[in-house]
Amino acid sequence: MATPPWQQIAAQKRDERAQKIPEKWRIPPSFKPYEDCEDVQDWPETSGFFTAQELIITESTATEVVTKIASGEWKAKDVVEAICKRASVAQQLVNCITEICFDEAIQRAEELDAYFAREGKTIGTLHGLPISLKDQFNIKGLDTTIGYISRANKPVSEESTLVTLLLNAGAILYAKTNVPATLMRGETVNNVFGTTCNPRNRKLTSGGSSGGESALVSFRGSFLGVGTDIGGSIRHPCSFTGLYGLRPSHSRVSYQRVANTYMGQEAVRSCAGPMCRSPSDILLFFSSLTAEQPWRYDPQCLPIPWRIEEESLPKRLCFGFGMGDGTVTPTPPLRRAMEMTKKALLAAGHEVINYIPYEHIEAQEIITNMWSADAGEDFKQDIHASGEPFHPEMKKWIDWMDAKPKPTVFETWQNQQKRAVLATAWHERWEGTKSVTGTGRPIDGLIMPSTPFPAIKHNAGYPHHWGALSPLLDLTTGVFPVTKVDLEMDIVPGDWKPISDLDKKVMDHYGGPQEHENAPVGLVVIGRRLEEEKVVAMLAVIAKSLRE
């Protein structure tokens, strides 16, 4: 039987990607970990494949890298070559990259080094910093498939505005990363490039839809990557791989000329944001971008510079703590992470009050109705164009949409009105905490998990998650790592009782810590709309409290 055309295209794309990895960066058979080796996170340190200097460079944060390049201690070319080598290894071990432009990155690094030698200064605050991008972002000359066979072999001629801004600030682009087809799944898998694995345990997902980015940054094959989030696509992957991240409010980061699904759907908007290794790297990303005045390039961007005064926080903060949404509770690893964070914040002199976001259940219903208003027509057009099949998990959702009546325009408007009513109720409840925080202010942020469970096995699906509220109400939301799954501490207590049928389903889905061995465990801190400066500052406070 002849190979279907779509499979031929996929094979060609994968071969093209493999050929772009230089021979010197391909893992020799004698070095390569066994196929059944689950944890490959520390392979670069233990394999002997990297030099000591390459390890020092790639283990650094983005903030440390730009500081050393600006001081003349490191050359941009050395940094780029080290990170491209590590990215090459990441691709070979966890399958996280879609498009490679290493040669172009090295050439740009040489140009930046020549400029620095000639002028004695950098061209911008990101001078020499290699940055990876989720596949959605257009880089001239590269494909932007977003996981669809039908979009392969169509290199773009117009770059995303964010790409322009990053280059203006001195960044170097070297790779784009894997996504799920449709961009609407919690696992990164598609028919073009296959499945991305979690470097902490290759039997587990790195999340989605920014799962290629989370795997690459976690493996230290990127200092800082840019993902997108419409329902958890920055927050879930960062939580699953031990990263910091930020889903900003819409219009703080340019989304102009970014490939996407749901084009024209504006009831709930996808946003771009950083995925990285420290709160200082998030600050570097936002302060650098706003210094480029993105509103002069993108009419959707708000003319708001980085407001340094908003980073100044009161000495004593008060956080709401959300142990679930009143219908589902966190599984043991997430509950333990919550308790660890609470203890650390109290020890640092901050306040904590219980704040269950019951509103999430309604938010999930509203946002699902928004996402399914076209009955999957957006997805079907791209899939049917090549004859490729839907992934089984995605097919379930398509079948569900097909089976229900398509909403009328009036019903769609009414659903959007529910969002406005919910936003008002959420705001008033938040303001109402002023009387119980002990600070004279409402809560500063809400800390909770983004999913009830840690990273799950491939193709397991999500019976429930807490990704809807932030995009629906456009709330600035940060992500921070706390711990990792513990095989002894994270067993389900013998006296545990579910608070609902769905709660039981989620705990059954969790199964026990052995199903998530070595998985990182992270949480989110939710602020108000357009509170990027404050949320970044709160991430720094939380990180410091957990360290101490």
- In a domain? residue 481: no
- Is the bond preceding residue 209 a cis peptide, omega within 30 degrees? yes
230 is in an annotated binding site: yes
My answer on whether 337 and 235 are in the same domain is no
My answer on whether 280 and 345 are in the same domain is no
Last residue of a domain, one of 270, 304, 338: 304
30 is in an annotated binding site: no
Nearest to 196, CA basis, from 213, 184, 221: 213
Q: Which of 134, 176, 203, 534 is catalytic?
A: 134
Q: What is the pLDDT of residues 43-63, one digit of tens each?
A: 999 999 999 999 999 999 999
Angle at 98 between CA 111 and CA 179, to 5 degrees: 125
Q: What is the dihedral of CA 532, 533, 538, 540, to 10 degrees?
A: 110
My answer on whether 146 and 69 are in the same domain is yes
Nearest to 468, CA basis, from 418, 510, 430: 418
My answer on whether 343 and 198 are in the same domain is no
Nearest to 538, CA basis, from 335, 314, 251: 314
Looking at residue 407, its pLDDT comes to 96
My answer on whether 297 and 324 are in the same domain is no
- In a domain? residue 39: no
Nearest to 272, CA basis, from 285, 263, 283, 284: 285
- In a domain? residue 203: yes
- In a domain? residue 40: no
Q: Is 320 helix (H, G, I), strand (E, B) or coil?
A: strand
Q: What is the pLDDT of residues 436-468, one digit of tens each?
A: 999 999 999 999 999 999 999 999 999 999 999
- Taking only the tens of pLDDT, the chain with its 548 residues reads 667 799 999 999 999 999 999 999 999 999 989 888 999 999 999 999 999 999 999 999 999 999 999 999 999 999 999 999 999 999 999 999 999 999 999 999 999 999 999 999 999 999 999 999 999 999 999 999 999 999 999 999 999 999 999 999 999 999 999 999 999 999 999 999 999 999 999 999 999 999 999 999 999 999 999 999 999 999 999 999 999 999 999 999 999 999 999 999 999 999 999 999 999 999 999 999 999 999 999 999 999 999 999 999 999 999 999 999 999 999 999 999 999 999 999 999 999 999 999 999 999 999 999 999 999 999 999 999 999 999 998 999 999 999 999 999 999 999 999 999 999 999 999 999 999 999 999 999 999 999 999 999 999 999 999 999 999 999 999 999 999 999 999 999 999 999 999 999 999 999 999 999 999 999 999 999 999 999 999 999 999 999 99
My answer on whether 169 and 251 are in the same domain is yes
Last residue of a domain, one of 243, 272, 304: 304
Nearest to 383, CA basis, from 189, 147, 99: 147
My answer on whether 409 and 365 are in the same domain is yes
- In a domain? residue 220: yes
My answer on whether 19 and 71 are in the same domain is yes
Separation CA 309–CA 101 (nearest Å): 39
Separation CA 528–CA 427 (nearest Å): 9
What is the per-residue DSSP string for 241-281?
HT-EEEEPPTTSS--TTB--SSTT--SS--EEEEEESSHHH
Nearest to 22, CA basis, from 74, 91, 78: 91
- In a domain? residue 505: yes
245 is in an annotated binding site: no
- In a domain? residue 162: yes
Q: Which of 150, 209, 222, 249 is catalytic?
A: 209
Q: Which residue has 């070319």 as its token pair?
A: 77
233 is in an annotated binding site: yes
Q: Which of 60, 88, 160, 233 is catalytic?
A: 233
My answer on whether 62 and 209 are in the same domain is yes
CATH number at residue 543: 3.90.1300.10
167 is in an annotated binding site: no
Domain that residue 401 falls in: 318-476+488-547
Looking at residue 34, its pLDDT comes to 85
Output DSSP code: residue 35. T
Last residue of a domain, one of 304, 329, 363: 304
Looking at residue 100, its pLDDT comes to 98
- In a domain? residue 37: no
232 is in an annotated binding site: yes
Separation CA 263–CA 166 (nearest Å): 24
My answer on whether 9 and 135 are in the same domain is yes
My answer on whether 66 and 169 are in the same domain is yes
My answer on whether 364 and 264 are in the same domain is no
Separation CA 163–CA 173 (nearest Å): 8
Looking at residue 1, its pLDDT comes to 60
In contact, 467 and 360? CB cutoff 8 Å: no
The number of distinct structural domains making up the chain is: 2
First vs last Cα of the chain: how many Å apart? 63
What's the pTM? Answer: 0.98
Q: Which residue has 């049917």 as its token pair?
A: 384
Q: Is 233 a catalytic residue?
A: yes
